[in-house]
A and B are shown apart, each in its own frame.
Chain A
Amino acid sequence: MKKHFKKGLSILLIMSLTLLLVACGTTEDTSSSGGSDSVVTEEGNTTIAFVTKSMSDQFFIDVKDGAEAHAKELGINLTYMAPEGGQSDIEGEVQLLEDSIIQKVDAIIIDVSDSAAFNTSIKKANDAGIPIILFNDVVDEKDLETNGGHIDSFVGMDSADAAAQVAEYCVKTSEVGKVAILEGQSGTTASEDRANGFKGIVEEAGFEVVTSQPANWDKNEAYNVTQNILTSNPDIKVIFAASSLMGIGAIQAIEDMGLSGQIDVYDFDCEADDIAAIKTGTLKATLQYPSKEWASLAVDTAMSLIKGENVDKEVYTEVKVVTKDNVGSIE
């Protein structure tokens, strides 16, 4: 009786497992994203792997849509991937890169979650003759070159310059006073560039940056950090948040503390909440970068490299400071 149970259970296990896998296999084949059969053997069936560090941000959702739509227009296969553990799963993202190399895709676009951890794998891609395009985040190129690797192009945003543009609007609009900055993840290039870009311009104009704290790109954390900052520095007049979620979190904290209208908030990303906040005046300005066009630009750069054309080492996407003056013209 006992043997029966065990045998039956094991068979059930195997059957359900196989079923699950076959189901996965068939669903993936029907969608247009890359599967096993898209390894380039057919004429004109180019495959690009787009590896990002997270799937859970509005930004990455837009990038995915933009990239896949453009790939469809061009008639090529695009596989969009992000690691299971999100932005902090560096090993997971490296694995996705390595798996793409094994798949012998025609080009790899990647938004790295760390500036050094991917260099060994990038070299492998170089050796395999697969063009590597960096998207949004940079790697430590000195370290990469000492190991004989290189990247073919970087498609990104000049974050420092973009933040400086927001800062210039702040200098024009806000009264000189004390400033608090909400960073993303301290130590990351994106976070540092934005914070420093803003800080540099406002300090030149006489503002005083009293504190700069990380809130890990998270709305809830930004809320708490803002509360704490305002409790210990009640005379702050300007807050700059390096991302939309953090900016909205800060605005919420300001409201709940009864300080609405007394503090000017600036942020980044121009998401739907930002647009609404600018219209109501709770947000003074944000920065828009067209995520979908940015993704398409990356795909085009990849295609040029596949065709063997020359591309710029650095390709920048357009950015725009959005304020109450031009918010009407945004979608």
Chain B
Amino acid sequence: MKKLKFNASNMGALMVLIVLIIAMSIINSSFLSRANLVNVMQQITVNALIASGMTIVVLTGGIDLSVGSVMAISGLVMGKLMQNGANALVAILAGLAIGILIGLINGILVAQFKLQPMIATLGTMQIARGITLTLAQGRTISGFPQGFRWIGNVTFLSIPVQVILMVSIYISIFYLLKYRKLGRYIYSIGGNEESTRLSGINVTKYKITAYVICGFNAAIAAIIYCAKLNSAVPTAGEGYEMDAVASTVIGGTSLLGGFGSIWGTLMGAMIIGIIKNGLNLMGVSAYLQKVVIGVILLIAVLVDSFRMRTMSKKK
């Protein structure tokens, strides 16, 4: 299956993005201001990070609904540690470890026990959320040390550090998917799991890896979220899995697996973020924003299904 940087799948997303930017800047004069563009990039960072992990899982033909809860529990653990005097680095490592752990659990449930990804991750989503709420007793933890907060505030060459981090992660994932064995196998598993298994590839191992990466990225998103807001909120991330899936699909990745690109997801995240930002600037109600994003998502899925049909006809 194709996995070039700019293939048919993300051409559509690219065109939509360009048109969107043009439309927004016409409708609203503050849209293209430097301050607003930096604002938008910052606003999409958390979702883009979560979506990047989601993309890898979706490429294997699966899905991970627990990402929002992973973000929350990771954030809570970091918060609690820092509240009890741990330094930022220790807290961050612990947060990442939680992400990896839950990713591992998800991966084992799906790859080893052959559970349906949606159900397995729904389960871990609930469990993680419940543990988070219990540990937090409903309270937010705030007041983090400067060693942690700088991640959310500092700019480097006037680009926020969080954006630089996000872009680096995307570049790493691109490299992984295109130039490493892991990447090739992930596409292969999503394209045709049986024949991949029959060719002697350890499908279980690579599927688990995909879910671990997803959990890890959700934990990174947690770092940005908590640093930005200077608080660990137990209800954080509710519904974030939806935006992550939407970004992935709008970006051209097929939910059936095996087809798509990571840059498409970034574009998908930008599309959603720009719509929200632009509509905010126009004063459009948040409810109407949901409608717009839903419509775009449906169109993206329809395009995907057309493409799947015409591709199989070609064979």
Contacts and interface: CB of A to CB of B under 8 A. Distances in A.
Interface of A: 1-2, 5-6, 9-10, 12-14, 16-18, 20-22, 24-25, 28, 33-36, 39, 55, 79, 81-85, 88-92, 94-96, 98-99, 102-104, 114-117, 119-120, 140, 143, 185-188, 214
B139 A187 contact: yes
A104 B29 CA distance: 12
A116 B142 CA distance: 6
Contacts of A119: 230
The binding surface of chain B is classed by DSSP as helix
B89 interface: no
Interface residues of B, number: 64
Given A34-B283, A55-B286, A55-B287, A9 B306 contact: yes
Contact of A115 (B30, B140, B225, B287): B140
A4 to B, nearest CB: 10
A81 B29 contact: no
B138 A103 contact: no
A2 to B, nearest CB: 4
Contacts of A188: 138
Given A14-B15, A36-B29, A117-B140, A24 B292 contact: yes
Interface of B: 8, 11-12, 15-16, 19-20, 23-24, 27-30, 33, 35-36, 39, 43, 46, 136-140, 142-143, 152-153, 225, 228-231, 233, 235-236, 238-239, 276-290, 292, 295-296, 299, 302-303, 306-307, 310, 313-314
Given A13-B299, A88-B238, A214-B138, A99 B284 contact: no
B303 A9 contact: yes
A186 B229 contact: no
Contacts of A16: 295, 299
Given A102-B33, A115-B142, A120 B228 contact: yes
A33 B303 contact: no
A21 B138 contact: no
Given A13-B12, A85-B239, A24 B299 contact: no
A95 B283 contact: no
Contacts of A117: 140, 142, 229-231, 233
